[in-house]
Amino acid sequence: MSAVAGGGPGSTASTNLRAASAPVCFGVNEVLPAGAWMPDREAVLDAIAALDYAGTELGPPGYLGDAAAVRDGLARRGLLLVGAFLPLHFSSAAQFPEDRAWLGRTLALIAEAVPPGARPFAVLSEGFGEPLRMQYAGRIEEHPEAALPDARVPVLVANLQRAAEDCRAAGLEPVLHHHAATYIETDAEIRRVLDAIDPTLLGLCLDTGHARFGGADPVALARDYHELIRHVHLKDCSRAVIEAGRRADKGFADLTAEGAFTELGQGDAGVAEVVAVLRTHGYAGWLVVEQDRYLFADGDLEATLEAQRRNRAWLRELGI
């Protein structure tokens, strides 16, 4: 396990676990459905600081402003920049060059926004937008027509590792984030990619909620790939919501809007068990609390804040 993860398999340094949040908890997303809105960045940063988190992820590049605004906004609240979620179309030979150029510009912004010596995580995800994946997210195994063609798997792995090299050159630690509605969603897809990457180049960002959304067992992934885990997104997920959506033929955006990602402890992602496995194997890095959601005109931002207060309280019960 990399030193970035906070210790080797024999370590018991669980007291070094650090809690962070992310703008996605407050409806800030890369892609919004019709009628959704994102709250003011100052309100989001104020909320994260008030919840006594030590850091935050960036949210969509540009949401927190330019490099100077990011530095100032975080410094005034005593928050660290933990990482940035960076989706690219690794599996597309045609799209990746343009995405890689965007990655270079974004990495430059992040590098300018962090203080000297800081090394936030570049959280690399396969990109969104494939219609079949968006429509059949959470039930991909029932739809083989939505699978990534075998010939594109080596393309995905090679481009993923090229992006990881770019991140390292820019001073960020790259990790792979498996994600619903992409070509790295199901248990088999996650394992296929993790078994193919160079572990000295790229680590794993285990996302408990997205693992469960895609039908994987987050606890099993934590056990099987503990040496590769360098970053963690703590997220809960209700398969009952996904199953109801399957019967109504609902896609990823609808399922997210309807609460597929629940408050911590309210779903069946086994979040507490995952934390226990991480502690057993000496993980001592960041735990980023996330609850993917959208805010709509008839929504209540205060209700969202209350949900995040409950998430923070739940985490404190685990001693974090």
Domains and CATH numbers, the chain: 3-317 (3.20.20.150)
The answer to pTM > 0.85 is yes
Please write the tens of the pLDDT for every residue from 138-182.
999 999 999 999 999 999 999 999 999 999 999 999 999 999 999
Please write the tens of the pLDDT for every residue from 201-218.
999 999 999 999 999 999
Which distant-in-sequence residues (6+ apart) come within 8 Å of 108 by Cβ?
A: 170
Instruction: Report which DSSP code applies to 318.
Output: T
Please write the tens of the pLDDT for every residue from 287-300.
999 999 999 876 67
Which distant-in-sequence residues (6+ apart) come within 8 Å of 315 by Cβ?
A: 19, 234, 264, 287, 289
Task: Answer yes or no: are the C-beta atoms of 82 and 288 closer than 8 Å.
Answer: yes
Please write the tens of the pLDDT for every residue from 302-314.
889 999 999 999 9
Predicted confidence band at 34 (pLDDT cuts at 50, 70, 90)?
confident
- CA neighbor of 284 nearest in space, from 244, 233, 230: 230
| % of the chain at pLDDT higher than 70 | 95
Q: What share of the chain is helix, strand, coil (3-state, %, to 5)?
A: 45, 15, 40
Structure tokens at 9: 């398999």
Q: How far apart are CA 113 and CA 129, in angstroms?
A: 29
In this predicted structure, the answer to whether residue 226 has a pLDDT above a threshold of 80 is yes
Query: What's the pLDDT score for residue 136?
Result: 97
Task: Answer yes or no: are the C-beta atoms of 183 and 133 closer than 8 Å.
Answer: yes
Q: How far apart are CA 289 and CA 57, in angstroms?
A: 10
Which distant-in-sequence residues (6+ apart) come within 8 Å of 127 by Cβ?
A: 87, 88, 89, 90, 92, 95, 99, 182
Task: Answer yes or no: are the C-beta atoms of 179 and 242 closer than 8 Å.
Answer: no
In this predicted structure, the answer to whether residue 28 has a pLDDT above a threshold of 50 is yes
Task: Answer yes or no: are the C-beta atoms of 275 and 287 closer than 8 Å.
Answer: yes
Structure tokens at 34: 């019709």
